[in-house]
Amino acid sequence: MARKATAETRTTAKVHDQTLKRGEGGELHQIQAGDIPTLTTAQGAPVADDQNTLKAGAPGPGLIEDFHFREKIFHFDHERIPERVVHARGYGAHGYFETYDSLADITRADIFQRPGEKTPAFVRFSTVAGSKGSFDLARDVRGFAVKLYTKEGNWDLVGNNIPVFFIQDAIKFPDVIHSVKPEPDRGFPQAQSAHDNFWDFISLTPESMHMVMWIMSDRAIPRSFRFMEGFGVHTFRFLNARDESTFVKFLWKPKFGLQSVVWNEAVKINGADPDFHRRDLWEAIHAGDFPEWELCVQLFDQEFADSFDFDVLDPTKLIPEEIIKPRPVGRLVLDRMPDNFFFETEQVAFMTQNVPPGIDFSDDPLLQGRNFSYLDTQLKRLGSPNFTHIPINAPKCPFHHFQQDGHMAMRNPAGRANYQPNSWGEGPREDPERGFRSFRQPIDAPKARLRPESFADHYSQARQFFNSQTVTEQKHIAMALTFELSKCENPLIRERMVSHLLNIDEALGATVADKLGIDRLPKPADPAVPPRDDLPASPALSIIENGPKNFAGRKLGVLVSDGCDGKLLEALRAAIDQEGATTELIAPKVGGVVTADGTHLPARHMIDGGPSVLFDAVALVLSKEGAAMLAKEAAARDFVADAFAHCKFIAFSAEAAPLLEKAGVAPDADEGLVRLDRSAAVAAFVESCRKLRLWAREAAVKL
């Protein structure tokens, strides 16, 4: 028995020596045995056998002296850390921030002193409501957290893709999050706000109405992290060398413009690829198509703050870009994925309190609460006050302090003195000139629990946001509200929400009420302050009005079959490549197809695994026989029907027309269908794709 067991061990080890490695071009090749490092324990002891536990005889009991097994299973048992209560599902990337111009006149923050200087950065995108195992395209706020490793300490600009928030005071944060999480008695729904608890809380919290308009808009279902804006949400301060204050709001503007998906599309993407946003970022960076944003600032003084229609410290309000134009001050480029997801993306700790000298806080009550909460939560998640010893959280500039010991300490102060002042001349000392200084704001106010009267207008900016949307976007908001409220079992909650909507837009409230079967409109909710109807529309708030100018960074899906026109396909690929976009082939079999001229083309997807919802536009390049065969396939018909219903541009070879018709799409239905019957048609199709969607089709499909 012992000899047989030894032979089996050698056989297993031999199989495991056949290790494959992915090359720079993505190809797989075998690694030679001599190139493989030796497996060791965490203590560094080389391991002879990683396939079998130490036993008393081949079938015998395990031995407690098997230190390798005990260490391995011990670590496995403890390798999960508590997930974040909010923003649990996240994905991150490394990059850099490049400063445009010196801002020394308004801030002494080191990062803004030298034009052209690059600062290392790490960015984590996330959803708010769902768990780590939820899907990417939930209707939700997206976290947009940026860690900048400046020469004077880490700066964490912890923001969202929406510039306002549900609540005005941090004491309500547990309530809004509890309400949107799975209902505690049943444990569902996951990563969804379409349930009674959420809308009950919202309908009882009028300050949430502005945020409701944003999360019911297409902003809450972005096409990609790469095509969404980011906002610091709160008002901060810049302080210059003379400690003079300038208020500042931070905005990230994506290089490729804004783009979202429609709700029906999001639902199907989550089924086809729940990692859609993660995969998109991974593939873009590995392809060298580096995502980029401009950091813009809205700068204003106390005089403007006093004259503005709303309180700049109210986190449920924004300053329209038409009133204060955002000033670009630098660019953020993401160019490298983490080597290990857990080590960096999961363990990164963002804290709003992390600001370098020259950046300070305002009295925004939500920001003040976040400054307390974010530090407090790291001990629970990462298990030690020494979470800054984890490389992703450590500053990249010199740092010196007297903090010592604690769980998992990686370093301790050297020398005799671990305190100051001391008589030994050891250790760091404070620097009144270089160090962080808070703005010397005079305070003469009673200690009390209160809400400023200037925070009382809950409907005016919500109305302004809705009025700033295109007709298409307004329709999407109404559809989203109808869907979400239809999932509420309590009719009182539905009616209460409609009463708020009537204060935002009467037609919107009436439309939602009608769709919900509310025959008699409720009385509009009593506002604390009468809503204003004189705020001008802000085009900057519309996604469609701020969409891309080209098809760059997007993806064309081409459905192909055996016998298709290889030259036409190559011309299409070349034009898309010239545009800065990518092409992926979908075929009846993942092995690919053979074109009419005998060329074999591998496919990225088979038709069952490559639905059109994964692409920004589609093309059908088929042979007559291929179109006839695919017309019998439900997945192929859905490929076409969904692309049409989602208002995407569709190109097709003449032979593909029968598949269109079988899918219920007339080949000449509208200008969004382009017949590839001449060389100029390819260029015309690519030009059409720059618009991303043919929204005029939406009324016809009635999705």
pLDDT in tens, 487-500: 999 999 999 999 99
Among 439-453, 472-486, 585-599, which stretch is predicted with the lowest mean pLDDT?
Answer: 439-453
User: What are 224's two structure tokens?
Assistant: 């990609």
What's the pLDDT band for 255 if we cut at 50, 70, 90? very high
Give yes or no for a cis peptide into 611 (omega within 30° of 0): no
Residues 6+ apart with CB under 8 A from 558: 569, 572, 573, 583, 584, 585, 586, 618, 619, 620, 621
pLDDT confidence band for 402 (50 / 70 / 90) = confident
Structure tokens at 105: 């006149």
Tokens of 562: 């055996």
Q: What local confidence, expressed as pLDDT, does residue 190 receive?
A: 95
- Residue 17 pLDDT: 46
Residue 209 phi, psi (nearest 5): -65, -35
Cα-based angle 56, 57, 62 (whole degrees, multiple of 5) = 40
Of 340, 361, 393, the domain-final residue:
393
The answer on 413 and 312 residing in a single domain is: no
Please tell me the predicted confidence (pLDDT) of residue 401: 86
Mean pLDDT of 552-575: 96
Q: For this structure, is 160 an active site residue? A: yes
Residue at 10 is within a domain: no
Asked if the model's pLDDT at residue 22 lies above 60, the reply is no
Q: Please report whether residue 33 resides in a domain.
A: no
Q: Residues 140-157: what's their mean pLDDT?
A: 97
What's the pLDDT tens digit per position in 313-350?
Answer: 999 999 999 999 999 999 999 999 999 999 999 999 99
Among 68, 94, 154, 160, the one annotated catalytic: 160
CB atoms within 10 A of CB 277: 25
What tens digit of pLDDT does each residue of 61-107 get?
Answer: 888 888 888 888 877 777 788 999 999 999 999 999 999 999 999 99
| pLDDT of 60 strictly over 50 | yes
The string of pLDDT tens digits covering residues 575-632 is 999 999 999 999 999 899 999 999 999 999 999 999 999 999 999 999 999 999 999 9
Q: Are residues 537 and 673 in the same domain?
A: no
The CATH code of the domain that includes 585 is: 3.40.50.880
pLDDT of residue 4: 44
Other Cβ atoms closer than 10 A to 447: 4
Residue that terminates a domain, selected from 504, 524, 544? 544
Structure tokens at 480: 């989203």
Domain boundary among 544, 564, 595: 544
CA distances from 477 to 309, 465, 491 (A): 26, 11, 20
Within this chain, do residues 474 and 575 fall inside the same structural domain, yes or no? no
Q: Is residue 488 part of a domain?
A: yes
Structure confidence at residue 236 as a pLDDT band (50, 70, 90): very high
Give the chain's domain count.
4
Other C-beta atoms within 10 Å of 143: how many? 22
336 shares its domain with 471: no
Give me the mean pLDDT over the 647-669 stretch: 96
318 and 350, same domain (yes or no): yes
C-alpha of 150 from chain center: 24
In a domain? residue 479: yes
Quick one: pLDDT band at residue 670, thresholds 50, 70, 90? very high
Weakest mean pLDDT among 18-32, 102-116, 216-230, 254-268: 18-32
In a domain, 413, yes or no: yes
Catalytic residue among 68, 87, 277, 500: 87
Same domain membership, residue 489 and residue 377? no
| 386-389 long-range Cβ contacts below 8 angstroms, 24+ apart | 386/410, 387/347, 387/349, 388/349
Quote the CA–CA distance of 263 and 458 in Å, as a whole number: 27
pLDDT for residue 15 is more than 50: no
Q: What would the pLDDT profile of 342-351 be if each residue is shown by its tens digit?
A: 999 999 999 9
Domain housing 602: 551-701
8 lies in some domain: no
Per-residue model confidence (pLDDT) at position 274:
97
Could you tell me if 545 and 470 are in contact, meaning their C-beta atoms sit under 8 angstroms apart?
yes
Tell me whether residue 94 is one of the annotated catalytic residues: no
DSSP structure class, residue 344: I
Above 50 in pLDDT, residue 647? yes
Q: Give me the DSSP letters along 576-630.
A: HHHHT-EEEEEESSTT-EE-TTS-EE--SEEGGG--GGGSSEEEEE--HHHHHHH
State how far the alpha carbon of 545 is from the alpha carbons of 195, 449, 470, 472, 476, in Å: 31, 42, 8, 11, 15
CATH number at residue 475: 1.20.1370.20
Give the pLDDT band (50/70/90) at residue 16. Answer: very low
What integer pLDDT is reported at residue 449 of this predicted model?
A: 83
Contact 347, 79 (CB under 8 A): no
Q: Do 540 and 620 reside in the same domain of the chain?
A: no
Task: Report whether pLDDT(14) > 50.
Answer: no
Tell me: pLDDT of 12 over 60. no
**Which whole number is the average pLDDT over 226-255?**
97
Residue 258 lies in a domain: yes
Amino acid 72: pLDDT: 81
Structure tokens at 595: 């074109």
Do 113 and 224 share a structural domain?
A: yes
d(CA 648, CA 540): 24
Average pLDDT over every residue of 256-268: 97
Same domain, 508 and 642: no
Task: Tell me the C-alpha distance between 681 and 654, whole Å.
Answer: 12
Would you state the pLDDT for residue 619? 98
Same domain, 506 and 434: no
Q: What is the pLDDT of residue 30?
A: 65
Q: What is the pLDDT of residue 505?
A: 98
143 compared with 678, residue with greater pLDDT: 143
Claim to verify: residue 225 and residue 357 sit in the same structural domain: yes
Does pLDDT of 13 surpass 60?
A: no
Per-residue pLDDT averaged across 548-566, rounded?
96
Indicate whether 337 and 210 sit together in one domain.
Answer: yes
Considering all CA atoms of the chain, what is the largest pairwise distance in Å, rounded to the nearest integer? 90
When pLDDT is averaged across residues 122-143 and rounded to a whole number, the result is 97
Evaluate whether 180 touches 174 at the Cβ level (below 8 Å).
Answer: no
**Domain assignment present for 154:** yes
Q: What is the rounded average pLDDT of the residues 245-273? A: 97
The rounded distance, in Å, linking the Cα atoms of 522 and 250 is 39
207-221 pLDDT per residue, tens: 999 999 999 999 999
